């Protein structure tokens, strides 16, 4: 009788939690830039809030995932989020940190609940009711832990759709920062030059204004440096992360020689660093399954404009290069790079990739920056000449959803037919989806 009662209680608990688990799954499935909106919808009945911000350094293109009041989400700065993250202290390896209080967001102080996950991903919620103090912080932290891990895994996988969105976002942000920096720096330097002129009267006012202008100029340059640190990763740091990732992938008996990139070279844009690690991981996994393999060599170099990746082994030369090509080439193509592979019977296999550090300055590829990740995936299937029904089956979505995305692609690319959209994509270097 006790066993039946326990089973009934378990079933009742499971039934009560099933909608929450289903909702959490829905948060994890979909375009990464919109994960903040999906998470906000899941939390709304449990934790009413007016704004939600997820901040992660892993997503270099769009480090903020937001939902809610645009007066907050549209104006919150990386510096404000970084400051709040620092106040919470370093991420713990086995638990999250939480703090309820107030913080400056979008230039104003707001009541906040902040959680720093063990993945170093920050969640900031502005409660809908300031007087609400009944929030189950442990449950919220647990739900966010799953979301933060999902973000980390998506970024680490570096799918072509993610890389395309990240590169487009990084390029747009770089252009915006460059334009603002140039305009503001020129203005401040002009003011300083004027204030330093000995022909002006009122020395005290001139000194005060000069100090203010100098402080603003320093602040501007510091902000640019912070954005650069967020958007780029030192090649040696990225390679060190790769070294750690490879430890669990290489079986015993296989020696791995890791040739690090030179110290002090150009930093790697985040999408390039993620793609490079994903390409090497995929190459290693594909090569170590060969019989009698004893040695692998992984090398990163740079010619100043591109990251040069080289992976080779001393196997029999029987690696499945066609399968590796199918897995790895789309990532390289998305970033405008080149990929080559070859096997020599009895001598081993070699895979190499060249990833440009800068996005194209102009041309059709920039046109694709207006597309979202799912729209890029649909476009790849249009390049392959597939109809909506087949695309829906491949992407595991409804046919009406595919139709919606196709319509959006045609509209954003300013074309009238699927064939024209495919032509624009091919010109931009997009390859057909497998």
Structural tokens at position 266: 């150009």
Residue 361 lies in a domain: no
Asked if 97 and 146 sit in the same domain, the reply is: yes
Specify the pLDDT at position 208: 66
Tell me the residue range of the domain where 73 lies.
2-157
- Maximum Cα–Cα distance across the chain: 98
Does 81 share its domain with 41? Answer: yes
Provide CB contacts within 8 A for 226, sequence distance 6+: 78, 79, 82
| Number of residues that this document lists for the chain | 434
10-residue block means of pLDDT along the chain (434 residues)?
Answer: 51 62 86 89 92 85 86 87 89 87 92 93 84 71 92 83 73 59 62 65 65 65 57 86 88 89 83 91 90 90 91 88 89 89 88 87 55 82 88 86 87 83 77 76
Say yes or no: 123 and 211 in one domain: no
Same domain flag for 331 and 298: yes
Q: What DSSP character marks residue 122?
A: E
CA distance linking residue 174 with residue 9, whole number of Å? 55
How many domains does the chain contain in total? Answer: 4
Reference 20, options 139, 183, 184; nearest CA is: 139
Is residue 413 a part of any domain in this protein? Answer: yes
pLDDT, residue 315, reads: 85
What pLDDT score was predicted for residue 417?
85
How far apart CA 410 and CA 412 sit, in angstroms, is 6
- Res 306: pLDDT: 92
* C-alpha to C-alpha distance for 378 and 425, rounded to whole angstroms: 11
Does the predicted TM-score (pTM) go above 0.85? no
CA dist 355 and 268 (Å) reads 10
Give residue 281's pLDDT.
92
End residue of a domain, out of 231, 252, 282: 231
Cα 287-292-295 angle, rounded to 5 deg: 60
CB of 400 within 8 A of CB of 408?
Answer: no
Query: For residue 222, what pLDDT is reported?
Result: 61
Could you tell me if 35 and 75 lie in one domain?
A: yes
290 and 393 belong to one structural domain: no
Pairing mode of beta strands 295-302, 255-259? parallel
Domain boundary among 325, 356, 387: 356
Radius of gyration over alpha carbons of the chain, in Å? 25
Same domain, 241 and 218: no
Domain ends where: 330, 356, 382? 356
| Residue 402 within a domain | yes
In this structure, the answer to whether residues 246 and 351 fall within a common structural domain is: yes
Whether 131 maps to a domain, the answer reads yes
């Amino acid at each position: 009788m006790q066993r039946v009662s326990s089973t009934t209680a378990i079933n009742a608990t499971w039934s009560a939690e099933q909608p929450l688990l289903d909702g959490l799954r829905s948060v994890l499935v979909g375009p990464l830039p919109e994960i903040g909106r999906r998470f906000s919808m899941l939390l709304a009945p449990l934790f009413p809030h007016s704004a939600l911000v997820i901040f992660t350094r892993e997503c270099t293109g769009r480090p903020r995932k937001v939902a809610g009041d645009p007066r907050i989400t549209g104006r919150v700065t990386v510096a404000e989020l970084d400051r709040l993250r620092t106040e919470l202290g370093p991420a713990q390896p086995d638990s999250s940190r939480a703090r309820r209080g107030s913080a400056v967001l979008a230039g104003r102080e707001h009541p906040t609940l902040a959680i720093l996950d063990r993945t170093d991903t920050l969640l900031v919620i502005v409660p809908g009711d300031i007087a609400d103090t009944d929030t189950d912080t442990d449950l919220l932290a647990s739900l966010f832990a799953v979301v933060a891990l999902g973000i980390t895994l998506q970024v680490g996988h570096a799918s072509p759709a993610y890389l395309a969105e990240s590169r487009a976002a990084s390029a747009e942000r770089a252009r915006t920062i460059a334009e603002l920096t140039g305009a503001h720096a020129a203005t401040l330097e002009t003011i300083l030059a004027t204030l330093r002129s000995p022909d002006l009267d009122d020395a005290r006012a001139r000194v005060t204004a000069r100090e203010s202008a100098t402080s603003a100029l320093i602040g501007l340059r510091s902000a640019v440096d912070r954005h650069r640190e967020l958007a780029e990763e030192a090649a040696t740091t990225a390679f060190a992360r790769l070294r750690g990732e490879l430890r669990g992938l290489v079986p015993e008996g296989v020696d791995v020689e890791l040739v690090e990139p030179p110290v002090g070279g150009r930093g790697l844009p985040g999408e390039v660093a993620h793609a490079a690690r994903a390409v090497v991981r995929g190459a290693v996994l594909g090569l170590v399954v060969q019989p009698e393999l004893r040695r692998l060599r992984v090398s990163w170099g740079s010619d100043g404009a591109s990251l040069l990746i080289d992976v080779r082994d001393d196997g029999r030369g029987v690696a499945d290069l066609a399968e590796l090509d199918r897995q790895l080439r789309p990532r390289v193509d998305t970033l405008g790079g080149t990929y080559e592979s070859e096997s020599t019977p009895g001598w081993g296999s070699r895979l190499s990739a060249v990833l440009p550090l800068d996005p194209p300055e102009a041309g059709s590829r920039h046109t694709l920056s207006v597309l979202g990740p799912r729209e890029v995936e649909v476009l790849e299937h249009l390049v392959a000449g597939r109809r909506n029904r087949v695309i829906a089956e491949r992407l595991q979505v409804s046919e009406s959803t595919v139709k919606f995305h196709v319509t959006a692609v045609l509209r954003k690319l300013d074309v009238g037919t699927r064939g024209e959209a495919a032509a624009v994509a091919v010109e931009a270097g997009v390859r057909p989806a497998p």
